[in-house]
Amino acid sequence: AQSVTQLDSQVPVFEEAPVELRCNYSSSVSVYLFWYVQYPNQGLQLLLKYLSGSTLVESINGFEAEFNKSQTSFHLRKPSVHISDTAEYFCAAVGGSEKLVFGKGTKLTVNP
């Protein structure tokens, strides 16, 4: 069965520092990958997606993620974070079962 592992449950960083949120998935078939962000008291919003094509995908607010098939990873990165990036981030994958499977989330806290 498909599984998604987010290696860090909490990541504290200082403002303007770079950040990487790690995500690994398990799948032996083609897989579609997503990152969602959840701000306090809100639902999940799609941040970026990998469906096919270029392995590097970018969001409009400076985040990027790279699909690495050999390492079965889809890590999320941002070169310089802002206070407003404080949120919980979820990695998700859909594979052969057609069901979206979520990781347990990473809480990113950006400190001044």
Partner 1 sequence: DVKVTQSSRYLVKRTGEKVFLECVQDMDHENMFWYRQDPGLGLRLIYFSYDVKMKEKGDIPEGYSVSREKKERFSLILESASTNQTSMYLCASSLISRQPQHFGDGTRLSIL
Which one of residues 14, 71, 99, 111 is an interface residue with partner 1 (CB under 8 A)?
99
Give the total of residues touching partner 1 (CB under 8 A): 21
> For partner 1, which is the closer residue by CB, 25 or 36?
36
Residue of 5, 25, 11 whose CA lies nearest to 87: 11
Q: Which range in 11-19, 56-64, 75-83, 96-104 contacts partner 1 by CB under 8 A?
A: 96-104
Give CA separation, 34 vs 5, 13, 18, 103, 111, in Å.
Answer: 13, 23, 20, 11, 26
Shortest distance, position 78 Cβ to partner 1, whole Å:
20
Q: Does 32 bind partner 1 (CB under 8 A)?
A: yes
- φ, ψ at 8 (rounded to 5°): -125, 125
Strand-pair partners of 24: 5, 73
* Residues near partner 1 (CB under 8 A): 9, 32, 34, 36, 41-46, 49, 51, 90, 94, 98-100, 102-105
